[in-house]
Structure 1
């Protein structure tokens, strides 16, 4: 694993120089369409805007490559203005994965201030009547949607609260986690993607999907968002209910009859065309990173199984089946992720968050298990 991690990190440093050479100075990379040899970019308000600079910082943390740091600094500079964005719940992805990662590596107090401001912005999405953070604004499809992905943005609130910020952020994160625990999960510990709330009464209008196969199906990435989110919440609170939920989600995933041998999930565990269904490398990378942390809080066979599953995933993602050849794939690291198959968006393409959680998982393995 030491050799694999070192080789992956050196590859990432080189490959991201290819990507850096393609991205306009005022935009962020989003994906790549191989058939058209076309890089897809976004503005800084796109929910994935923090992953590229975050990945650069993680790579720099391992390689100390000066060009990687220079590119990371350039991208933080165009992203910083989004610290006051309140248009959706994604401030954690946008600002904690970027500026939070930068602060972890550099301890620059300016980055900490950005993260604090972002937490304040995110807290404005909290809705007391439903005891949760509203993910998206109302639309023709949803009145007050809360998505399982939102568990990932609580790390921003908890970290700020723990590091000198307002304690209300911790209270919001805990309340949101408890509401999600109550309403988002089925008896088998799979999760719905979207729970739509009635703002007036606090009740539930409906439980649906937006990116999964069906309302009652288990959207692949949604399951691992929940796994990662409750693991993080246990880190900050030491509430056994969160650890219990994380372990139950892990059991659901690792014992699922439709989990492939290489542990890279199908885009939806209930996709009708399994085993021909598309795989989602991003879900695999997120799961590997989450399991490596969850193993820190467990013992015996459970701990060993989590580490072993993560190793299986990381070896698969490091193989030619999922890792792009140097210089290809538009500069992205991983092949074969799925953004939203129902919308035919980013299907079987590279994604910035797949790369981010892949590098995070490698960094965690090196830090905790070598």
Structure 2
């Protein structure tokens, strides 16, 4: 990291009130090295059975492992690819290739749910970006066609959970993240209709998935045949009307990415709007949110380091599209402080071999509450690399 970038980051942290300890700990190279050490520890405990690490429960040091069908299966190989990008160490390329190839069956499987983007683009997608391996490209293109099979033209969105009828065609806000797979495929040899599907999904979501203040519902239910919106509800948030932190984070990241891929100003404008309600309502000093902004037990509610990691990464990209200098500075300052907080207060260190503590998966189900989760680690690492690349 150049001295100029260090000075810029220090100034941004000072502007947002970060402590001297935070400023010292936001040494990006140091944090990347920390992630490499932690990932090396994890590699030593993964069984040779095609599984990958998903979560470390609160109070435990032991990873829980999942197979390629799990919705989070792409994050671990994605982390390995990002470590390879950060270091150019062939060790990481070898391990990333190994765990990525475990996911190959997803490209030929019956359409199961929308998570193919998380699974395949974070793994094969990062792998192809860094190596241009034609085998990876073939898998990505096949998987994009599988994902497109969930698109309902009467509704205008990809169905998220076909196995869960929920009284109609269901679409969750997380699905915005999986559009990147379709955008990429449409521009790299895939069917051009994949681009149109992704755009239509984003437009339909923009029109229906948000309350008047631009906070997101987790789930939208549509009539299968008429395409009309039936209702908005939650699955993992506190209530149907609450702002679930990670859901809003998916919206910020997803619409920022959609603007990048389309250059349509309406998506950029919407990305700013869904970001504004998140930042305006974020009252924690360290800028790491409670799992739901409307949780009734705040300030004793669990935090969600995963949401903070996702938003910090998204804000860095959104800042590059922002012409307003004051707003751009705000995004950079907030993102830098989020990363400083995660680095100084939320790292797992010797408690387990994940990168971060205090992520929350599915609080209403009592699942993965206040624990380490692979997608928190993935977006934390991605954000560090994005910040490093900013000049």
Superposition TM-score tier, normalisation by shorter sequence = over 0.9
Q: Matches of residues 202-213 of structure 1 in structure 2 within 5 Å?
A: 202-213=227-238
- Give the C-alpha shift of residue 34 in structure 1: 4.5
Identify which of 188, 210, 215 aligns with 2:213.
188
Question: How does the TM-score come out when normalised to structure 2?
Answer: 0.91
1:157 to 179, 182, 185: 182
Deviation at 1:37, TM superposition (A): 3.6
Q: Tell me what 1:13 maps to.
A: 36
CA contact (8 A) 2:58 2:372 kept: no
SS across alignment from 1:30: strand
1:172 pairs with 175, 188, 197, which one? 197
Q: How large is the RMSD of aligned CA atoms in angstroms?
A: 1.4
Match of 1:148 among 149, 173, 176: 173
> CA–CA distance in 2 between the matches of 1:309 and 1:165?
37
CA contact (8 A) 1:60 1:68 kept: yes
The answer to whether the Cα contact below 8 Å between 1:289 and 1:360 also exists between their aligned partners in 2 is yes
Question: Tell me, which stretches of 5 or more residues in structure 1 are unaligned?
Answer: none
How far the C-alpha of 1:108 sits from its partner, in A, is 1.4
Q: CA deviation at 1:103?
A: 1.1
User: Contact (CA 8 Å) 2:112, 2:163: kept in 1 or not?
Assistant: no
Distance in 2 (alpha carbons) for counterparts of 1:38 and 1:261: 31
Shift of residue 14 of structure 1?
1.2
Residue 46 of structure 2 corresponds to: 23
Partner of 1:39: 63
CA contact (8 A) 1:92 1:156 kept: yes
State the SS of the aligned residue for 2:214.
coil
- Secondary structure of the structure 1 residue equivalent to 2:370: strand
Rounded to whole Å, the distance in 2 between the matches of 1:211 and 1:55 is: 25
Secondary structure of 1:345's match? coil
Task: Give the aligned length.
Answer: 365
| Residue ranges of structure 2 left out of the alignment (5+ in a row) | 7-25
* 1:120 correspondence with 2:145: yes
1:298 counterpart = 2:322: yes
2:308 aligned with 1:271: no
- Name whichever of 264-273 and 33-42 sits farther off: 33-42
Cα deviation, 1:94-124, whole Å, max 9, x if unaligned, reads 0001111111111212211111111111000
* CA distance in 1 between partners of 2:118 and 2:226 (Å): 30
1:217 partnered with 2:239 = no
Is 1:259 matched with 2:273? no
Q: Could you say what secondary structure the match of 1:176 adopts?
A: helix
Q: State whether structure 2 residue 372 is matched by structure 1 residue 350.
A: yes
Counterpart of 1:339 (choices 349, 358, 361) is 361
Q: d(CA) in 1 for partners of 2:254 and 2:244?
A: 16
> TM-score, normalised on structure 1?
0.96
* Aligned match of 1:199: 224
Assess if the C-alpha contact under 8 Å between 2:97 and 2:127 holds in 1: no
Tell whether the 8 Å contact from 1:266 to 1:278 is kept in structure 2 after alignment: yes
Alpha-carbon distance, 1:249 to partner = 1.1
